[in-house]
């Protein structure tokens, strides 16, 4: 779909849906696939609160973080296409998480780590999942606990 088609046929309706959600005290989470960098400024203008992606690596973490600029939160796991490639190691997982979180760090809250909901379906073993989880935790993706 071209951006002109999006602007004409979809954007007005998404704007209405997002405004209605906000009017009822809800946040709006939009899942999207593919290379959508050109669409993100419109998503921000519409008022999307959270952009949920499963292939953020496709667009480049630095470029994605720069375009989102902390105005919209990005909620994603490691890129599911990349993470399930046979040549990727558990050490690569940790390095990738560090790259991902470093790209979003300057935006103070613009990134939310996500666990893929059906990891076994895409070939991530329990050991892979634990490695990825530990890497996110080691890179600051955890809730801060209040000390009483």
Return the beta strands (E) in 69-136 as ranges: 73-76, 111-113
pTM attached to this predicted model: 0.85
Quote the CA–CA distance of 82 and 56 in Å, as a whole number.
Answer: 10
pLDDT tens-digit profile, the chain (148 residues): 899 999 999 999 999 999 999 999 999 999 998 899 999 999 999 999 999 999 999 999 999 999 999 899 999 999 888 989 889 999 999 999 999 999 988 876 688 888 888 888 888 899 999 999 999 999 887 665 555 5
């Amino acid at each position: 779909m071209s951006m002109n088609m999006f602007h004409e046929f979809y954007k007005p309706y998404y704007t209405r849906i997002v405004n209605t959600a906000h009017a009822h005290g809800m946040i709006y989470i939009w899942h999207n696939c593919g290379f959508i960098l050109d669409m993100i400024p419109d998503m921000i203008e519409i008022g999307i609160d959270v952009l949920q992606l499963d292939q953020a690596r496709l667009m480049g973490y630095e470029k994605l973080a720069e375009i989102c600029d902390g105005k919209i939160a990005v909620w994603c796991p490691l890129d599911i296409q990349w993470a399930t490639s046979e040549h990727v190691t558990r050490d690569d997982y940790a390095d990738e998480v560090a790259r991902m979180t470093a790209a979003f760090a300057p935006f103070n809250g613009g990134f939310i780590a996500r666990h893929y909901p059906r990891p076994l379906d895409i070939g991530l073993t329990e050991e892979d999942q634990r490695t990825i989880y530990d890497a996110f935790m080691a890179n600051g993706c955890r809730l801060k606990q209040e000390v009483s």
